[in-house]
Homo-oligomer: A and B are copies of this chain.
Amino acid sequence: MKNVKYAKCVKCGKEYEATPNTTTCTCGGILDIVYDYDYIKAHFTRDDLERSQEWSMWRYRPFLPVEADSAPTPLRVGWSPLYRADNLARELGLKTLYIKDDGQNPTASLKDRASAMAVVKAREAGAHTIACSSTGNAASSLAGNAAAAGIPTYIFVPSRAPKGKVAQLRIFGATVISVDGSYEDTFELSKAAIEKWGWYNRNAAINPYLSEGKKTVTLEILEQLHWKVPDFIALSVGDGCTIAGAWKGLKDLYAAGFIDRLPRLISVQAEGCCPLNRAIMTATPWQPMEENTLADSIAVGVPRNADKALQAIEESDGLVVNVTDDEILAAMRLLGRTQGVFGEPAGVTGTAGVKKALERGILDPDATVVSVVTGNGLKDVANGIKAAGEPMLVRPSMDELLKAFDTNGIHP
């Protein structure tokens, strides 16, 4: 990999050769992939992208830690739509808002970006099996992307994972272990099993390549904005890998001269599970928390990528906002009604945070904001119904319809 220098521990600074099997530092710290931006600058420009016909995350290969001869993955991951969200901006009282709908990925979440990367690195490592633990989306994205590539998977999910995600895993032919415990229990069991059987490790944070896949979301956003840098990018935060990846992508673009300034991040967590935001708000080291939120994808009491995430929020001079479950459900309705975008609870948490930050006066209404929807609402239909309610039921007659309209206060 001519564009990659080495992997470096974010805790102790120790450097490692970036091999496909590289995981964490001996000190326990998470590794970060360090690039040779002089090399990248000499070989990759915005003009190259303008000529590119590769409409997936792999259009950014020169920014990605993959071997030159590695084949891309079969499913079309990335290049999800960025919508100018004028209807919603108007309701929020915000000047300019964009929605990046990453629920429009093959398995319907942003995690496809990381899993596609994992599949490429597993192939480079010559691995025959890939495993991970996940609250759901990393799991289903790995199962789908690996199935398409013909690689078997072992997947550990907490038993609370929503049915949609579990159905995906089973359909994709993964061996699924539903763990009767918390995400932390699930993670530890997967870790022990991965060590025992030597599977390729797609656990978030442990594998330093995953956030490099995730960073393609911000590479795309900036290209879709024709390199006009927004003031803020809002993201929901659980394990911390997504916001860390998003920041990495922005720093890459800056270092390679694609953009001339950096946006600020908005880190949004659920009030019932906000260890990272709490650490920033109280200026103390992060502490584990209970996992009390219906937004399963970000119900992470022991975030695996705390160091990188906290660094990202701080470096970007970011905002931190916590939202209640009710605010999350309201954001599901709001995004659906105004923009026709159906996000899962964690998928709309970023948008719920934008709303709250505006209400609290900590976000300038004249700002340009991009809010990333990280997962599709179809993955968690129970909470969709919880947010929006059941429809009216009528017998097939006009009289019954008129009565039902009347009862429900509907006047066509």
Contacts and interface: CB of A to CB of B under 8 A. Distances in A.
Interface string A328-372: 000011001111111000000000000000000000000000000
A388 interface: yes
Interface string A186-203: 101100110011010000
Contact of A393 (B149, B178, B340, B398): B178
Given A177-B401, A376-B108, A396-B185, A385 B168 contact: no
A168 B336 CA distance: 8
A178 B76 contact: no
A104 B104 CA distance: 7
Nearest to A105: B104
Nearest to A155: B391
Contacts of A384: 164, 167-168, 170-171
B180 A393 contact: yes
A114 to B, nearest CB: 15
A62 B171 CA distance: 39
A378 B179 contact: no
Give the oligomeric copy count.
2
A378 B168 contact: yes
Contact of A394 (B166, B179, B339, B392): B179
B75 A170 contact: no
Contacts of A392: 176-178
A257 interface: no
A336 B376 contact: no
Contacts of A395: 179-181
A106 B108 contact: no
B75 A394 contact: no
Contacts of A101: 106
Which of under 10, 10 to 19, 20 to 34, or 35 or more describes the interface residues of A?
35 or more
Interface in A72-126: 74-76, 81, 83, 87, 101, 104, 106-108
Nearest to A140: B342
B76 A147 contact: no
A107 B342 contact: yes
A294 interface: no
A89 to B, nearest CB: 13
Contacts of A172: 336-337, 340, 342
A169 interface: yes
Contacts of A146: 340
A170 B340 contact: no
Nearest to A131: B412
A336 B81 contact: no
A55 B82 CA distance: 13
Contacts of A340: 74-75, 106-107, 143-149, 172
A199 to B, nearest CB: 8
A225 interface: no
A19 interface: no
A242 to B, nearest CB: 20
Given A172-B337, A340-B172, A398-B192, A404 B164 contact: no
A337 B76 CA distance: 17
A412 B189 contact: no
A164 B383 CA distance: 11
Interface string A26-59: 0000000000000000000000000000010000
Interface of A: 55, 74-76, 81, 83, 87, 101, 104, 106-108, 129, 143-150, 154, 157, 159, 163-164, 166-173, 175-181, 185-186, 188-189, 192-193, 196-197, 199, 332-333, 336-342, 376-379, 381, 384-385, 387-398, 401, 404, 410, 412
17 contacts: A101-B106, A107-B342, A164-B381, A166-B391, A167-B377, A167-B384, A169-B391, A170-B390, A172-B337, A173-B336, A178-B392, A179-B393, A185-B396, A186-B396, A193-B401, A193-B412, A376-B378
4 nearest A-B pairs in the assembled complex, by CB-CB distance: A148-B340, A173-B337, A167-B384, A170-B388
